[in-house]
Amino acid sequence: MIRVGLTGGIGAGKSTVAKTFTERGAYLIDADKIAREVVEPGSDGLRRLVDAFGPEILGSDGSLDRPALAARVFSDDEQRQKLNAVTHPLIGARTQALLDAAPADAIVVQDIPLLVENHSAPFFHFVVIVGADEELRVHRLTTSRGLDEADARARIAAQATDDQRRAVADAWLDNSGTPEQLAEAAARLWDERLVPLEEAVRQGAPAEPDAAAVAWDPSPASLETRLTNRLWALCGANATAVEVATSGLVPSLRVVARDDDAVAAITAALPAGGFAATSPGEFASADAGRPAVIGVAVKAG
């Protein structure tokens, strides 16, 4: 199983990509859908919100009045933290339950609007960003969603910038054309990158660097940073350092383990995380478009 993070700014067209991936067999986990589910009428989540913010956040039918809640928390950090303390654990638990239910050979696509803002990109095997020019996004938001221009621009400004998104992206799907063109590009990405990656991870097979696969990378200069962050996410406290040993088309990185037990834990985590074992203490990327060689060693002394 691999996990694919899917995101993009408001109005970028992420839903078209999610639909295309689903049609090709993706196991979709929609963060917005989960966020709605955990506060449905009669849910424990909604009861906790009422306890925290009062019955004024309920509509006449007993459901959550989202605009009323947003008005309470939008510009108040303390109130927003109170909201997150209620909803985040519930969303996390539901997400984990869905992940646990995924088939062993699944390509799990997690549609997360704030993936970049929440700094969660390193926890995915692959990150897909859907992008579009700001003026085009404003046009879509004002014509298709009924927002006024000021509101549309404010919502765009409150999210990550395109530079921040490109820095964590393994693939960038441009949506400045038609929905059909975007769907076609998403289908190619599925066939050319995601299916081979899932097979390689499941089989524990390293991938040979492939120029066509590497060409999907929108920010080659950030590759070493993405690899470093991915390794930290996989190794956690078992590592004391993650270092870039050599740069180039196939960068070499070194993970310094805390002790022998940590080496064992890291060695177990790397293959499932996208780095296949090639020899004792040596690993290689299972992604032909994100090549790397990884060495694991115990901290000296």
Q: Which residues are annotated binding-site positions?
A: 11-16
How far apart, in whole angstroms, are the C-alpha atoms of residue 105 and residue 269?
17
- Per DSSP, 114 falls in state T
Backbone angles phi, psi at 280, to 5 degrees: -55, 120
CB neighbours of 144 closer than 8 A, spacing ≥ 6?
none
Return contacts of 259-266, CB within 8 angstroms, 24+ apart. 259/298, 259/299, 260/298, 262/238, 262/298, 263/296, 263/297, 263/298, 265/235, 265/238, 266/234, 266/235, 266/238, 266/239, 266/296
Contact present, 136 and 55 (Cβ < 8 Å): no
- Angle between helices 223-235 and 260-273 in degrees, nearest 10: 120
Smallest CA-to-CA distance from 34 within 125, 110, 116 is with: 110
d(CA 125, CA 5): 8
**Helices vs. strands in the chain: H and E counts, helices first:** 13, 10
The CA distance from 229 to 264, in Å, is 20
Structure tokens at 179: 């929905």
Q: Which amino acid is residue 194, in one-letter code?
A: L
The annotation places the binding site for ATP at 11-16
